[in-house]
Structure 1
Amino acid sequence: MKQCLSRQISMVMFLLDFVNFARATRDLTLEPGHLQKFGSGRPTFPVDEIEGFPSPELFFRKYVQASRPLKMKGAARETPAFRLWTDDYFMSLDIDPNSTVFVESAKKENRTGASVHVHFKKFLQTYNDSDNYMVQDVPVYLRKDVVIPCSIQCADLFNKGLVATVMWFSSGGTKSVVHTDAVDNLNCIYRGDKELFFVDPKYKEKIVLKENGAYSDIDVDKMDYTKYPELANIEYHHVNISAGDCLYIPYLWIHQVRSYGSNVAVNIWWNHDEGLKLDPQKCQDECDPTLNLSDVNFEVDHEVSNDDEEEEEEDDEEDWKAYFLDILEEEDVTLEEMSELVLGDALAAKLKSMKVGHGYVDMIHKIFNLFDTDKDGVITKSEAEGISEKIWQHCEDFMNDLDLLIEAIEKSTKFREEL
């Protein structure tokens, strides 16, 4: 009996060694997906799909708290944004001539591309014939058109959970990096189509992210298994969404996004720990089809309530400007050094170790790009001294947004540690 058991154990050990040897010696260049786009060649599963918005009870219990992506087909078709958002409508709006939107100039994201601030109507006149891509907090003059999705019409979330809302606008053909978000995300598309590939967080050790834990250098058009062999051993979840659909992207799920055709989408980010603590039975019983973005506050919204607050903001801006110019007096600043200057050495190191997604990195890149006018990857004192006061104000706005986003990240991390 013992001899038989010993032989069985030996056989199992032999087979395990053989499997490990085969994996170690297999030619990855022959594996399906090698040198193809991200999402190719590996087992792929569909994302759950339902018609319209689920109730808050179903949404939070089955998807948010269970960390499962969800496609809500046709959920946004009855909203003003879906009906109204044509270029003619946008051009007809009465918009402050001094307001601007943030525009990236590369449709294939690399986190180091050039960016500019332009008037919204100037963007509208150029985006169809360029690679210009607007990535901007939803402007105040458009917020009334975006209805709060029925599934998240919850007072507790409105009071302390909403982080930001972002508008993504291009002529199509955009390709995001492979990344994660340190927030929960509900994205509704009002024009065009998008394709997303997800990787379950259980594979997080197989997706090589940058030191800050935000995104990967994987070429999303041509995955190189010899450079990233772990990609030959993962699984994907896949979904296509079209105008009128909404998609829930769970906290820290790895994903990559492509857009097709003239494309407008809006996402709402909320604090992950607030979503976990929320009691969905306290949300609204009936969906309010008139409740829109202008009716709620986000952590990155800034309301100046009196002259003292306004003066304090101006003082903070001058302090940052003087500090930054003093640094540049001694040496030029790279993107990595900018992160340490903006965050401080201790917080920069903490965020790198936390692997909390790409939102805060995006903001640092935006700040860096404001000053790196020749796009050589280095900021010099002469570049900073040539920056207009308007750009310095944009920098201060991004700094404020960054503070609030990091505060939301820290709240989520503290909550997870307490569970």
Structure 2
Amino acid sequence: MRFLILLQFISISIGTNQDDLPGHMQPIGSHRPPEESILVINSVPDPLEFYEKYMGTHTPVLMKGAIAGTPAVTKWINDEYLSDSFGEEPVDLEVGKKENRTGDTDETTMAEFLKRYKSEDIYLVNDMPMGMQQEWMVPRCLLCGGYTEYFNFCYIWFSSGGTKSVLHTDAYQNLHCLTSGIKEFVLIPPEYIEIIGPEHGLQGYYDIDVEKVNMTSHPGMMEVPWYYVRVEPGDCLFIPFNWIHHVASHGRNLGVNIWWSWFEFQRKKCPEDLSEVPPFMPLAQFKLRPEKQILAMFTDIARDDGYAYAEDLLATLPPEYDKETMLHVFDLLDPGCNGKLLVSKLLDDEFLEERYQVLRAFIEPSDIEDQYEDDMDDDGPISYNNNDDWDGDIQVPSEAEVNKFVKRYSREVDGEDRDVPTSHNEL
């Protein structure tokens, strides 16, 4: 397949007028009409049905009106309400509504953002502040069977409209819900990842200008089928792990997405009568567990003997990670394991959370040092990691930095998901 793409690229370069290339230097999706619609349903399935029909089969689905009538839809449409209720919450902004993954960021408060966002080229992209989690309702499709135990992150995306994401994949299962505005998604099946071409540094996104797709540098794009999805207020779109997507927003736009790791559905954790699952529960009732991505990552590479090996993880990562680095990562997770980690140890939630914090202090050390310097005052550092496994008093990095590491791993896995074990015996 790669050889055919190379031949196609050569023929394009030699004998084809670039203006004749379908979709060349036009917005993404201009190269051919979209496929028939993805599945659209007008109700929210119970957790077992959602797993069997959609998550378990890697099938995207749009659930119309899934969160209609919830506080986030009825109240968050009002800027004054957001300012009065959550104005003091700290938030991060991206400068520039057209995403490029290298742009500037800014730290402010929700109240300050609300004063600026209608007139400035800014975009709020932030972990959902704790104060808002009581009003964000998780729909019933995720409320039993194990989903909530594998919630990694919950992000809020807020702008005056006009945002454009890069073409990218997520290393997690993704439920994106909208409270106001319109979002238009381009979805591409994961089997076209290599056909499109190499990602930028294996970081889950492509160096493709979504407003002017260069078909000479990305000839594979001309062969890619795609789906168009329009998401309206109250709707929720499920995007399975590894589905390629681009999203554009229109009008005052506030969306929320929950990312969670792959897991094996546990029927015993649901009521016998699934109709007893409530329609919603506040996100505040659940703990976000970014460390669960570590369990999923090491389960993915576990051999039949139940161990994960450093050389297997190293084989999935870019060249900047060497054997010594991988041995150190394993030693941080399980001191003295010498590059051979018994994955069942990670099933202990307390152990997993503790070792995750240690691993966070290892990822992207230069960024951590910069953050450390920012936190210095006359009396020294305000806070620091004092773990014996790390040399130096260094500020622990954010989940986003750990997320980068995990995405680099996930994008090189062959795409065949393994069930996350639920007990030592399964290993």
Q: Which residue of 2 aligns with 1:33?
A: 23
How far is the alpha carbon of 1:296 from its aligned partner? 0.3
* 2:132 maps to 1:133: no
Range with greater deviation from structure 2 (38-47 or 137-146): 38-47
How far is the alpha carbon of 1:89 from its aligned partner? 0.9
Tell me: CA distance 1:48–1:267, structure 2 relative to 1, closer, same or farther (3 Å): same
Secondary structure of 1:93's partner?
Answer: helix
Q: Which residue of 1 aligns with 2:67?
A: 76
* 2:41 maps to 1:50: yes
Q: Which residue of 2 aligns with 1:169?
A: 158
Number of aligned pairs? Answer: 335
Tell me: CA distance 1:21–1:182, structure 2 relative to 1, closer, same or farther (3 Å): closer
CA distance in 1, matches of 2:171, 2:328: 15
Secondary structure of 2:138's partner?
Answer: coil
CA distance in 1, matches of 2:82, 2:365: 30
How far is the alpha carbon of 1:41 from its aligned partner? 2.1
What amino acid sits opposite 2:38 in the alignment?
A: V
Is the contact between residue 104 and residue 134 of structure 1 (CA under 8 Å) also seen in structure 2? yes
Tell me: CA distance 1:104–1:229, structure 2 relative to 1, closer, same or farther (3 Å): same
Q: Which residue of 1 aligns with 2:302?
A: none
Secondary structure of 1:257's partner?
Answer: strand
CA distance in 1, matches of 2:218, 2:415: 33
Tell me: CA distance 1:228–1:21, structure 2 relative to 1, closer, same or farther (3 Å): closer
Tell me: CA distance 1:177–1:400, structure 2 relative to 1, closer, same or farther (3 Å): closer
Which structure would you say has the larger RCO, counting Cα contacts within 8 Å and 6 or more residues apart? 1
How far is the alpha carbon of 1:31 from its aligned partner? 2.7
Q: Which residue of 2 aligns with 1:311?
A: none
* 2:98 maps to 1:108: yes
Q: Deviations over 1:240-265 (max 9, x none)?
A: 10111110011001100100000001
Moved over 6 A (4+): 19-24, 367-371, 383-386, 390-395, 407-415
Tell me: CA distance 1:370–1:197, structure 2 relative to 1, closer, same or farther (3 Å): same
Pick from 76, 79, 89 the counterpart of residue 81 of structure 2: 89
Q: Which residue of 2 aligns with 1:297?
A: 287
How far is the alpha carbon of 1:288 from its aligned partner? 2.0
Is the contact between residue 60 and residue 237 of structure 2 (CA under 8 Å) also seen in structure 1? yes
Secondary structure of 1:240's partner?
Answer: strand
What amino acid sits opposite 2:225 in the alignment?
A: E
Tell me: CA distance 1:100–1:396, structure 2 relative to 1, closer, same or farther (3 Å): farther
How far is the alpha carbon of 1:79 from its aligned partner? 1.1
CA distance in 2, matches of 1:219, 1:348: 38
Q: Which residue of 1 aligns with 2:190?
A: 201
Tell me: CA distance 1:21–1:121, structure 2 relative to 1, closer, same or farther (3 Å): closer
CA distance in 1, matches of 2:266, 2:320: 38
Q: Which residue of 1 aligns with 2:144?
A: 154
* 2:215 maps to 1:225: yes
CA distance in 2, matches of 1:293, 1:138: 10
Tell me: CA distance 1:418–1:22, structure 2 relative to 1, closer, same or farther (3 Å): same
CA distance in 2, matches of 1:242, 1:72: 10
User: Structure 1: which 5+ runs fail to align?
Assistant: 1-18, 302-338, 350-362, 372-380
How far is the alpha carbon of 1:347 from its aligned partner? 9.2
How far is the alpha carbon of 1:109 from its aligned partner? 0.4
CA distance in 2, matches of 1:143, 1:112: 29
* 2:255 maps to 1:256: no
Is the contact between residue 299 and residue 405 of structure 1 (CA under 8 Å) also seen in structure 2? no
What amino acid sits opposite 1:210 in the alignment?
A: H
CA distance in 2, matches of 1:63, 1:33: 31
* 2:398 maps to 1:399: yes
Tell me: CA distance 1:157–1:239, structure 2 relative to 1, closer, same or farther (3 Å): same
Please list, as runs of the form range in 1=range in 2, the aligned pairs for 1:288-327 lying within 5 A after superposition.
288-300=278-290
CA distance in 2, matches of 1:138, 1:147: 12
How far is the alpha carbon of 1:388 from its aligned partner? 4.3
How far is the alpha carbon of 1:213 from its aligned partner? 4.1
Pick from 210, 213, 237 the counterpart of residue 227 of structure 2: 237
Q: Deviations over 1:29-84 (max 9, x none)?
A: 31321111111222412221010312222211111111111111111112111111
Q: Which residue of 1 aligns with 2:50?
A: 59
Q: Which residue of 1 aligns with 2:422?
A: none
CA distance in 2, matches of 1:290, 1:66: 24
What amino acid sits opposite 2:163 in the alignment?
A: T
Secondary structure of 1:77's partner?
Answer: coil
Secondary structure of 1:144's partner?
Answer: coil
CA distance in 1, matches of 2:162, 2:9: 40
How far is the alpha carbon of 1:151 from its aligned partner? 0.8
Please list, as runs of the form range in 1=range in 2, the aligned pairs for 1:373-412 lying within 5 A after superposition.
387-389=374-376, 396=395, 398-400=397-399, 402-403=401-402
Tell me: CA distance 1:263–1:126, structure 2 relative to 1, closer, same or farther (3 Å): same
Q: Deviations over 1:192-220 (max 9, x none)?
A: 01000011111111122112241001000
Tell me: CA distance 1:260–1:243, structure 2 relative to 1, closer, same or farther (3 Å): same
Larger Rg: 1
Is the contact between residue 29 and residue 225 of structure 1 (CA under 8 Å) also seen in structure 2? no
How far is the alpha carbon of 1:283 from its aligned partner? 3.3
**TM-score (ref. length: structure 1):** 0.69
Is the contact between residue 163 and residue 405 of structure 1 (CA under 8 Å) also seen in structure 2? no
CA distance in 1, matches of 2:9, 2:217: 19
Is the contact between residue 24 and residue 215 of structure 2 (CA under 8 Å) also seen in structure 1? yes
Tell me: CA distance 1:210–1:164, structure 2 relative to 1, closer, same or farther (3 Å): same
CA distance in 2, matches of 1:31, 1:415: 31
